[in-house]
Amino acid sequence: QSVLTQPPSVSGAPGQRVTISCTGSRSNIGAGYDVHWYQHLPGTAPKLLIYGNSNRPSGVPDRFSGSKSGTSASLAITGLQAEDEADYYCQSYDSSLSGEVFGTGTKVTVL
């Protein structure tokens, strides 16, 4: 059972901007733990997109950006491209569970 809630799906036309929310609680995001984001294509290894709430690893396009406020975080994709069609997951740490937790996952569809 995921303790971080994401919308099941979001969609947008090429070039548009989409955002994915990640809602947690006072034992994870609200406790000050960082939020990280991953892109996952079925059958492949998940890829780190954003770490430490808003930092991009080298090689990740600046079309991807992250933010965090209170008990929630967001991933924004600007200039949406066909290759962005994938599943996206947020991740943080939960002090009540004493372990890492993932969001429910969001499927991004490029129309």
Partner 1 sequence: QVQLMESGGGVVQPGRSLRLSCAASGFTFSRNGMHWVRQAPGKGLEWVAVISFDGNNKYYADSVKGRFTISRDNSKNTLYLQMNSLRAEDTAVYYCAKDTTIFGVAAYFDYWGQGTLVTVSS
Sole window of 16-24, 59-67, 68-76, 98-106 interacting with partner 1 (rule: CB under 8 A): 98-106
Burial of 63 (0-12, 13-18, 19+ CB in 10 A): middle
Closest approach, Cβ 13 to partner 1, in A, equals: 26
Sole window of 13-21, 59-67, 68-76, 95-103 interacting with partner 1 (rule: CB under 8 A): 95-103
| Smaller CB separation from partner 1, 34 or 85 | 34
| Smaller CB separation from partner 1, 38 or 72 | 38
Q: For the chain, percent helix, then strand, then coil, each to nearest 5? A: 5, 50, 45
